[in-house]
Chains A and B, each alone.
Chain A
């Protein structure tokens, strides 16, 4: 089970956003991904293997962590970052997702 916190994050533009994803068991080989889902859109890959940015993802997005605790950091929040962010483990079948963190702009 992946538990994400907080449920909702409300920040001003330019602030740093820190999103947490905690696994109930250690995630093998840091097989942890992050996805961004904007309203009415399909998810978009941000990070894989815990910290590898997907092609075209701005460097203000970064992933870190290992074992059971993972973090997605958005270093300087921009209005277009409003979305729900999901973590996903792919270290063991079945792949599972966290419940999501909603990021809002104040």
Chain B
């Protein structure tokens, strides 16, 4: 069964960093891009970027270019996203999602993780 399992909820103070994880199972990890999408409570979905787990190359939305780093670990089949300089407006649920296209990216997302709630509060 194809599955993405994300790390648990976290609470951070403004200015801190958070590292989120997304562990895959049920498919060949290195053959599908992973995307990160966030959702501020009560609002819509926002694409943050994507990573090729094979090699680790990443592409970020311009809005997050300076504060986000995505990495991958093929041994543990896990993708990570580091978000720095957190602000209260970063309070959101962060989802990882698999690209539906094998070997390359399309942008259509077929499998989603359960989400990680990150709360930024002093």
Contacts and interface: CB of A to CB of B under 8 A. Distances in A.
A93 B33 CA distance: 15
Interface of A: 31, 33, 35, 42-45, 48-49, 54-55, 86, 88, 90-91, 93-100
A43 B102 CA distance: 20
Interface of B: 35, 37, 44-47, 59, 61-62, 95, 97, 100, 106-115
Contact of A42 (B46, B107, B110, B113): B113
A98 B112 contact: no
A95 B107 contact: yes
B-side interface mostly: strand
A45 B106 contact: no
A96 B63 CA distance: 13
Nearest to A90: B107
Given A94-B61, A94-B62, A95-B107, A42 B112 contact: yes
B59 to A, nearest CB: 7
A44 B95 CA distance: 12
A54 B44 contact: no
A33 B108 contact: yes
